[in-house]
Structure 1
Amino acid sequence: MPLSLIRRFLFHVKFWDIFMAFLLATVPFIFRCGRRPHFVRRAVVCLVPVRLLCLLFAYTYGGSIAVEAVYSGILLVIMICGLLYCFEERLSNVLFYFSAGFATWYISDRLFLVVASVCRLNSSLVPYFVERTPSHILVYISCFCVVYLFIYFTVGKKMHALGDSEIPMQNALLFLLLDSMLTPIFYFESGAISRYNLFFYNLLNVGEIIFYVFMLLLQVQMLAAAKDRLEIGTMKKLWAEEQKQYQLVKENIDAINIKCHDLKHQIRNLRTTGQVDPAYLDDLEKSVSLYNSAVRTGNETLDIVLTDKRLHCATHEIQFTCMADGSGVAFMETIDIFSLFGNILDNAIECETNLPPDTRFIHLAVRTVNRMLTIHAENHFEDSLQFRDGLPITTKADKDSHGYGMMSVRHIVEKYNGSFSISTQDKLFQIDIVMPIPEIQKK
């Protein structure tokens, strides 16, 4: 391939290669984010004008490093805007992922410089590292591919596993500011040292690689901390609401018991006087039916939860069957019992109310087997679900306010060193939980 043709090609891709390098470096971090409608069309709308802009920049920059830095900065700002246009993501998260891509690009660039400088020590390899030659470009691309794949399978996948955490804007701006300030300093510093001492030049480049790898790991830890803060805050809100609900439900059940206790005295009076009031009998029948819905498992908290949910099922024409041995849950804290079974049954009830009345059913089984507490719940289910980290992704539009019920269930199960699984087969949504019963609690 003629050298003039290669140089002409490189001139035409000037700035475009910078844009694509940063874009490809950011993709491993952001591609799991939600895409906006007509994603491909949006991407084309962004890329075509940028390509034309890169041609304009290439013909006007004149070889000045300062102008090149300004043009590159403009392209990077356009890329951030394009990511916001194509992905349904918060600005702070886009900036955070972009800074991770920035670090990935710089690591690959420094790695290439180290490889090139070391290989140039061998005179036979020098021709392969002459700038703007096919071999030079091939080695450059190879370094990028190696770094990008390594970052994707290490840092990128860890970020994906952390889910949709919201990064505070100040943290995203901090990383972006560090990248914007330190990268030019490192770039010119290494360029100056390369003229005097090759050893210190490579040492500096290796140090920069380690620094940016550390930055990426720090971003992973920050993302994990953001997710933990979000989950803990949500859990606290859920538990606070559940405690209030628990007190309300307990008061309702106590009121029912008081009513039934009063009915006993009224029945004795009825036997004494022999008078029968039809309205009174209707009230009596209603009260007795209500009392008959009470569940007796051997654990007061579990009785309260199941009785409340059973009454709720009766109101919504849901067939509710329950076989529960409450003695096995004695090792759990009261609020955990209420939260665990409340969330399981609330999700099931919500699902069943969207189905025809003749198909609505919920089944719950709580057993103790060989010092292990087993909980199995199932209900009719015909839709499809997507899972992330073993939990179903909520199908509601307001994802920020929903989807924490199963997260709360898993948190409680893990608190007691148990295992938790969900399956959707044969038109059934099934939850299976196994928790060891501490020896001190075994009666």
Structure 2
Amino acid sequence: MKNAICYFFSFLVEAIILWQYSSNLFSAKRKLLVKLIALCCLYFILFFCSLFESIWLNVAFYFLLNFIFLVIQFYLNWYTALFHSSILTAVMSMSELIVYGIIKRFAPHFLDNGREFNHLLVFTVFNKLIFFTVIYLLIHFIKKQEKCSRQYDKSIFLLVFIPIASVFVMFTFINIGENATLPPSLDWMITLSAVFLLTANLLMFGINQYHQKKNMEFTEMQLLLQQESDSARYYEMLHLQNENQRILIHDMKKHLQSIALLNEDNENEKIRAYIDQLMQSSDLLEFSKICDHKILNNILCRYKKVCNDLHIAFHADIRSNTTTFLSDSDVTSLFCNMLDNAVEASNHIKDSYIEITAAQRKHTPFIIITMINSCACNPFSPNGELVSSKPDPQAHGFGIKSIEKIVHNYNGNMQMYYDGETFTFHTIIMLKMKP
């Protein structure tokens, strides 16, 4: 009976670890409740098989039932599910063998006396801590290898110290049990401490994943709000432009009368200047269509209006279908950050300008995005790092990091340099189109 309780606890922890492993790496194709029911059913089968106390039977069923769970609950082909089921089985088996070897080396009599319940439970907690630590590292290693589009804070690897420290505490517990005769009450307290220690590790992992998910949702919400803001400003700009054009049309008769009076006096130069002034009026400029990407078009139109207000010449040449492979969030982050920096650098400079182009390199899946903007001074430090001109440089620089992250996610590269002869800053980005 006591062995059955240990087995039940062991499989409960393994089920939680499998849940975390699969949920963090794969996309589920079933609802949460269905996935939970399937996991419980499969691990109850595994629990009943363990009552036969056959090691090889336990390992075989652990591998098989994990494989079934991954195949039916996630968007995985059978050989990928087979691979990950093999990883889980290997890590689980190795963690038990490692702990067994450590205990036999440093506490050879710990599992004697008919495998006492307290000692068996401590052994179970010890090997599940090892299992949990390795799986925790594997999750983040696989995420890094797959170059997920989500951004992960590297500081999460510091959390690995917690399960490693817990393993050391467990080893201390085992040595205490081996070398000292403890009263039953204290023996139970050590056992419960081991269980609580494992529970704390699992909770720590779960809370960390929860916060990562919430941070990702917050970032996505901020990007959506930025897109909505761009669209709102775009349509507000169109409405204002429409009103100004109606006013200009209303006043056109008066302008023509003025031109006619100048013509009667043969004031050809004044007529030419008058017409040029009318033609260069912002009320006659066309903002509605710059490129065929809706979100990017809104962004470019907004920045074109900003540049006109700041007397910065703005030119955009985005070739057809060159940015359609980019997600809306990546388009917003990439182009808004680039143009924010360009506008800031070009402001208050006489005859300043911003030019941005995007074109596909012939016969390749690569897109080249080039931006040239006026810049009064070299923004690079002597060691080649970009220096922010803002009052608090430590609080800035995230725009460049965001651009670098997007470039990395699309297997591209970025070059930036300053031309001191023309006082211009150049940004060249190459992105690989995703199929």
TM-score tier by shorter-chain length is: 0.3 to 0.5
TM-score w.r.t. the length of structure 1 is 0.42
Q: Which has the higher contact order (CA 8 A, sep 6+)?
A: 1
